[in-house]
Structure 1
Amino acid sequence: MGHDILGYNKAGDEIAYARFSMSNHNVTVLYQLLDATQYDAGVSGSGNSATYTVPQLEKALNIFNQSFTEIDISSKHHYTVWDLKQIRDFIVNCLATAENEGSVKIFFC
């Protein structure tokens, strides 16, 4: 079990992926940034999806950047830092796709 959070473009291609073990509480950061706590089923995602627009993803990225400015996310020495990099990359990839296509679909599995 675990949390697999996937972003897809309008053609159905996977454009972003984040993976958290079922006991990794850092996943709550991504759920909260995406305003998607209703899709957190505890040991995994709920299996549902939601469509996100550019303003929603910009808001998530802005909150992330404000919240984690003190952390060097280029470091690979601590799993929390690795998770934060994974979260940032996920949001950035989804935002880039949404900017090109108007929205992105995110699945919470």
Structure 2
Amino acid sequence: MGHDIYGVNKAGKEIAYARFSMGNYNATILYSLLEAHKYYAGVSGSGNWNTYSIPQIEKALNKYKQLYKNGDSQNWDLKQILEFIQNCLETAKKEESVRVYFG
């Protein structure tokens, strides 16, 4: 069990990925930044999708920057969260939205 969170483009291609073990509390950081609490199922994600607009992903990135000042490069989880959000934002800017799977 664990949290496997994927960002995909409109063609269904994976553009972002974040993995957290079931006991890793850092998973809740990403759920919180994406305002995706309803997709958090404890030891894993709920298995559902959500579509995010550019402003929603920008909001998540801005919250991340406020809280973590672009992250601690030594903290692997913060780094993967930042990369996940940045990759989702890049795709959303190209395609007007991005889909995220919470598994």
In which range does the TM-score fall when normalised by the shorter chain?
over 0.9
Looking at structure 2, the residues matched to 21 and 55 of structure 1 have their Cα atoms a distance apart, in angstroms, of: 29
Looking at structure 1, the residues matched to 60 and 8 of structure 2 have their Cα atoms a distance apart, in angstroms, of: 17
Q: Where do 1:3-18 residues align within 5 Å?
A: 3-18=3-18
Give the alignment's TM-score, normalised by structure 1: 0.92
Aligned-pair CA distance for 1:69: 1.5
Q: Where do 1:81-92 residues align within 5 Å?
A: 81-92=75-86
Looking at structure 1, the residues matched to 58 and 8 of structure 2 have their Cα atoms a distance apart, in angstroms, of: 17
What count of residue pairs does the alignment treat as equivalent? 103
Give the alignment's TM-score, normalised by structure 2: 0.97
Percent of aligned positions with the same letter in both sequences?
Answer: 62
Superposed CA RMSD: 1.0
Looking at structure 2, the residues matched to 4 and 25 of structure 1 have their Cα atoms a distance apart, in angstroms, of: 14
Confirm or deny that 1:95 pairs with 2:94: no
Aligned-pair CA distance for 1:74: 2.1
Structure 1 residues 70, 85: CA separation in 2 closer, same or farther (over 3 Å shift)? closer
State the AA in 1 paired with 2:2: G
State the AA in 2 paired with 1:74: S
Hey, what does 2:25 align to over in structure 1? 25
Confirm or deny that 1:74 pairs with 2:73: yes
Give structure 2 stretches of 5+ with no counterpart. Answer: none
Q: Where do 1:41-80 residues align within 5 Å?
A: 41-69=41-69, 71=71, 73-75=72-74
Hey, what does 1:78 align to over in structure 2? none
Give structure 1 stretches of 5+ with no counterpart. Answer: 76-80
Structure 1 residues 60, 70: CA separation in 2 closer, same or farther (over 3 Å shift)? closer
